[in-house]
Structure 1
Amino acid sequence: MCTLIIGLDVVEPGSVALAANRDEDPARPSAGPALLLDAPPVVGGRDLRSGGTWLALRARRAAVAILNRRPRADDAPPAGAPRSRGLLALAVAAAPPVADAAADAALRALGAHPHAPCTVVWASPDGGWALAHEPPAAPVLRPLAPGWHVVTHADLDDRAEPRTAMLLDDLAGWAPRTPDALEAGLWARLRLHGDGAARPPVCIHDGPMPTVSASVVWLARGGARYLHVQGRPCEGAPADHSHLLADEPPAPDGGAHGGSR
């Protein structure tokens, strides 16, 4: 996945929204939203090459997204064959749906297997975090503050990345009052085609990694929505997959490394 928008508490306290475009080699096979794990219940699209996912929903409790990071010139290659980053997303989604447990699962998986550079985002109505993995450096965990956040190929809210800076400026001050208004505004942003270097495209048509699917998710203490377009978001209508999100009893309270409330 290459563009992720996160909105924490923007519609109401105790809610989180995610909007994501997946940019990928069109020849890499994948399947749309389905039940990925039965117990615990995890839903998302599946990478049919490696078996992982780019966006995993833990019932109605939390979402996990994985974004490939742009390699740096001085990055060392992983020690050994790297494990699919999509399997990392599944491992985090299978952990208990509280922030500390999810972060521990991510750190354990990164310690147990080599992974190429990536950012892992965990978000729930109670808070969230973003974890930057750039080996051989130690992973860096940052809590999500209430408000809007954007991640692409670089750090969370990195204004040196043009697409991130453009979207952060566009989202500043936007406070949709209803989930319907939220979804409409997020789809509009996922469909942006840009008009030059200062406003790069969010929906990508050219190059080896065009946009191949898009999703909008809203999780709140009183409900959940999961919408998905298999293909570019500017060309298809979202399908509602909310029925896949099962109820799950609340987990015991857990910390969030500063990211839960």
Structure 2
Amino acid sequence: MCLIAFDYRPQASAWLHLVANRDESFARPSAPLGAWPEEPDIIGGRDLVAGGSWFAVHRRGRFAAVTNVRDPATESPPDGPSRGHLVPEALKTDDLSGWLNALASSEAYRYAGFNLLVGDHSGLWHLHRGRGAIQLNRLTAGLHGLSNARLDTPWPKLTLARQGLADSLLDGGWPQSALAVMHRQCLDIDDQALPDTGVGLTLERQLAPPFILGETYGTRATTWLEWHQNGHLELSERRFGPNASNLGETHLSLSTEHWDRTLQA
């Protein structure tokens, strides 16, 4: 993922609402949202190059998502493992706390910069591997956003996505009005408001909106999730090709007990 907004309410009937965009090269092969053939307890999209994922859920009642960190000062180890591998590893571990603490102690340095978001009914955690530092936090209830920097860094796209989610939950427009914000392809902001991530002003402008429009690189999927205390969740993925061409949608209605599914092409 490259942009995630989520509302975490551990005491509410729906403990998690989330919207997210995945930005990637259109030439990189990937599988759409669905059960993984060799690991049917995992449901998510899949990178067919490295075998990992950007967002997935597990029958045990856990989800995980990863974003890259875009910072020229963050060193990337040569021949490091794919950051997408963190998603299935987070889902499958029987000792999530121990696994996260091992990452936080030193293991995260094996990877290029990343943010990992992982949670279940017992809690929600964020791990940031950035420039010379690793930070692991258990998150408090509330509205949060994550892009290619630290949690809640106020990049314009993140601020907009987070507010769009908040408004949709407040005015009853969930999820459609939140999705409309995630699909905005332009922002009317001054260049001074853009982050400086070392890619140059022209590319910073292209990457500024929530939805990246492009011929070879851009937003390839929008995901939304609603997860209830009783284990029921609604999960949907809209897929896009070059220049926002529509490649279809998958909607799943799942139970962590039965994985009941309703597919909509």
TM-score (norm 2): 0.77
> Cα offset for 1:145?
2.1
Q: How many Å separate the matches in 1 of 2:39 and 2:250?
A: 25
> Cα offset for 1:76?
2.8
Work out the number of aligned pairs and report it.
237
Query: 2:25 aligned with 1:22, yes or no?
Result: no
Higher mean alpha-carbon deviation, 164-173 vs 43-52, is at: 164-173
1:94-113 matched pairs, under 5 angstroms: 94-96=92-94, 101-108=95-102, 111=107
Alignment deviations for residues 182-241 of structure 1 (CA, whole Å, 9 cap, x no partner):
222332222122332369421111375300111111111221111111216884664212
Task: Give the aligned partner of residue 178 of structure 2.
Answer: 186
> Cα offset for 1:9?
2.1
Relative to structure 1, is the Cα distance of residues 111 and 192 closer, same or farther in structure 2, using a 3 angstrom cutoff?
same
Higher mean alpha-carbon deviation, 231-240 vs 4-13, is at: 231-240
1:215 alignment partner, one of 203, 223, 232: 223
Task: Give the aligned partner of residue 142 of structure 1.
Answer: 137
1:203 alignment partner, one of 185, 207, 211: 211
Q: How many Å separate the matches in 2 of 1:12 and 1:129?
A: 18
Higher mean alpha-carbon deviation, 18-27 vs 164-173, is at: 164-173
Higher fraction of strand: 2
Letter in 2 for 1:23: D
Q: How many Å separate the matches in 1 of 2:9 and 2:160?
A: 21
TM-score (norm 1): 0.78
> Cα offset for 1:34?
2.2
2:257 alignment partner, one of 225, 235, 247: 247
> Cα offset for 1:173?
6.0
Relative to structure 1, is the Cα distance of residues 21 and 173 closer, same or farther in structure 2, using a 3 angstrom cutoff?
closer
Relative to structure 1, is the Cα distance of residues 182 and 146 closer, same or farther in structure 2, using a 3 angstrom cutoff?
farther
* Consecutive unaligned residues in structure 2, runs of 5 or more: 194-207, 259-265
Task: Give the aligned partner of residue 156 of structure 2.
Answer: 162
* Consecutive unaligned residues in structure 1, runs of 5 or more: 249-261
> Cα offset for 1:7?
1.2
Task: Give the aligned partner of residue 56 of structure 1.
Answer: 56
CA contact (8 A) 2:43 2:58 kept: yes
Relative to structure 1, is the Cα distance of residues 125 and 16 closer, same or farther in structure 2, using a 3 angstrom cutoff?
farther
CA RMSD of aligned residues (A): 3.0
